[in-house]
Amino acid sequence: MIRLLIVDNERWIVDSLLDLFGRPAKLELETFGAYSAKEALEALGRMKIDIVLSDIRMPGMGGLALQREIVRQWPWCKIIFLSGYDDFDYIQQALRGGGVDYLLKTEGHDAVVAAVERAAAQLYEAVESRQLILNAERQMQLARPLLVSEYLLALAGGDPEALRKRHARLPELQLPLDADAETLLVLGRVDDWRDGFSGGDKHLMLYAIANIAEEYFAKSVFCTTVSFEQNKLLWLVQAKPDAGPAPDVASGAWPQAEDARRRLVRFVQGTIETIQGACKQLLQLSVSFAAADEPRDWARIPGQFRALKRLLGRGLGLGQELILLDRPSPDGAGTQPDIRTHETRSRLDRIGTLAAYLENGESAQFFAEYAGLMALGAEEGQRDELLRLEIYYSLVPVFLSELNRWAAHEEMGGTTDLGKLTRYDSHSSWHAAEEYFAELAERLFSLKRAERSDREDDLIRHVRRYVEHNLAGDLSLTRIGEVVGYNPYYLTRLYKQLTGEGLTDYIAATRLARAQKLLAGHQLTVQDISRAVGFMTEQSFYRFFKKETGLTPQEYKERQAISKTDNGM
């Protein structure tokens, strides 16, 4: 989904272009209109905008001044200028400032559509995949990333020594982070490695993802990246010092600078959507993200890190390409010797993978991995008894963690003897222990499925209730996402997956049903009904209604009147 903002002080131009881009086309657009630069800045302050189509000469704040503020807030936004004047000086200034196109208003709608399509094609061309891979290969040859990873994971994990030494270690490792500044966390996860990926390939792809993210983040924030658990990335993000105070609204310029913390959160949460799209397009990898709700001081980073891992594991529905936004809540050892063969040790090393499957609700993958692990302890013998102990007590914290995370002790304790969990000798045989863990896992998966289903049903009801009560108001996907607490791009895909119907299709169907009801009532004019169901112009309403019903609103109204007369009403 690409967000397009149309800006012009002439209302009829904005309305006609909104109508133009509201028709079916090859681009999947969510369009917004603004009748002044001030209104445009308010929209830019609420959400990430991908393309701006703006008049260059407007009263008060003109297009070039607006362009400078757009670049400051959303440096990867593509800007197309419309003008009634073939002014070479304006064209030069616009293109130097980052504009991607300059059109005369006399060129017509086809030229405007073509310009928007070109801008959309350029959204992911800021980075080039081959160069990303080369950069990643060079970085892997250096020892520094390993040192950085170890230290940052120690910080995120709550190591008190790492926290205490951050004033010295951050500069020492040449990290662009302030030891005293608040930090925002973003967690990323590769959802599924393609077949044939070796360990080295995976590390290379993780570096490439990190490069993509840092490329998009770099112009507006300081950030550094660390990879962990074979498929996850953690970004630590800090705001750059503001370039200077913003001019006052009274002077015709943009609004006073908003709180820097909110601006940082909005920028990061908006930009991860673009990063996800770039990873899909350039690397053919599905990547999920969970982003923090606010920057935190260093002492609170470990709690946030745990919260984001939990959030990513509990994402609704799709399971892949999640974009989850954290919301405030009250929560706010040595190497073991080899026991058997290399294959045995490799299987034991996958306990973390098993835990991830349990956390993410991936039951089929969990039980396949679990069967292989438990088979290691099936043979008899003293040596195998030590191995069984290791396997058993490696699984105990995995299940304890999930029981605590889901607060499932009370619910499951009535049917499952949880006291056996920490006592290996309470099971009559290895097979009995295997069945105990399997039953516990199945109960946890059932609990997750039931809880997820309830949350999904609540989400759909909330979305539909909001749509039904706000037909004349703001029904942009961005606004609906804000209401239910989900990224709008992810919400549209989730809604389609859960209901089989596109969210925009549901909005259109609800508008049509309300319009038909109002037309049948004969108490309102077509113009009043058009506004009541959310159309900016009567022409747009006519076109929509005729497309859906084969009749104009007036024809439908007249037929309803005849039908009532024939029925003696």
- 310 shares a domain with 167: yes
- 420 shares a domain with 376: yes
Q: Does residue 497 lie within any of the structural domains?
A: yes
First-to-last CA distance in the chain? 47
- 164 shares a domain with 289: yes
- 43 shares a domain with 90: yes
Q: Which residue range(s) make up the domain with 159? A: 129-325
Single residue among 294, 325, 356 that ends a domain in this structure:
325
Q: What is the pLDDT of residue 338?
A: 38
Cα-to-chain-centroid distance, residue 144: 30
Q: Does residue 332 lie within any of the structural domains?
A: no
- 433 shares a domain with 399: yes
Q: Does residue 89 lie within any of the structural domains?
A: yes
Q: What is the pLDDT of residue 246?
A: 46
Q: Does residue 457 lie within any of the structural domains?
A: no
Q: Does residue 409 lie within any of the structural domains?
A: yes
Residue whose token pair is 């990290």? 175
pLDDT per residue as tens, the chain (569 positions)? 789 999 999 888 888 888 888 776 677 888 888 999 999 999 898 888 999 999 888 888 888 889 888 988 898 889 998 877 666 566 666 666 555 677 787 888 888 889 888 888 888 765 555 566 666 666 645 567 788 888 999 899 888 888 999 999 999 888 999 999 999 999 999 988 877 778 788 888 999 999 999 999 988 999 999 999 889 999 999 998 764 444 444 444 444 445 788 889 999 999 999 999 999 999 989 999 999 989 999 988 988 898 898 888 766 555 688 888 886 544 443 333 333 444 566 677 678 888 888 888 888 999 998 998 888 888 655 457 888 888 899 999 999 888 888 777 777 766 778 888 889 999 999 999 999 999 999 988 888 888 888 888 899 999 999 999 999 888 888 889 889 888 888 888 899 999 999 998 999 999 999 999 999 887 888 889 988 998 877 888 888 898 889 999 988 888 887 776 666 65
- 243 shares a domain with 152: yes
Single residue among 325, 356, 386 that ends a domain in this structure:
325
pTM: predicted TM-score of the whole model, two decimal places: 0.58
Q: What is the pLDDT of residue 137?
A: 62
Q: What is the pLDDT of residue 433?
A: 92
Whichever domain contains 180, its CATH number is 3.30.70
CB 383 within 8 A of CB 339: yes
- 32 shares a domain with 55: yes
CB 189 within 8 A of CB 231: yes
Single residue among 122, 152, 180 that ends a domain in this structure:
122
Q: What is the pLDDT of residue 273?
A: 92
Q: Is the dihedral of CA 476, 527, 25, 85 positive or negative?
A: negative
- 360 shares a domain with 225: no
CB 399 within 8 A of CB 436: no
CB atoms within 10 A of CB 324: 22
CA distance 103 to 247: 29
Q: Does residue 405 lie within any of the structural domains?
A: yes
- 133 shares a domain with 117: no
Q: How is residue 172 written in tokens?
A: 């020492």
Question: Cα torsion for 203, 209, 211, 217, to the nearest 10°?
Answer: -150
CA distance 303 to 296: 10
Q: What is the pLDDT of residue 467?
A: 94
- 391 shares a domain with 438: yes
- 412 shares a domain with 296: no
Q: How is residue 310 written in tokens?
A: 């939990």
Residues recorded for the chain: 569
Q: Does residue 330 lie within any of the structural domains?
A: no
Q: Based on the structure, what is the number of domains in the chain? A: 4
Q: Does residue 336 lie within any of the structural domains?
A: no
- 139 shares a domain with 87: no
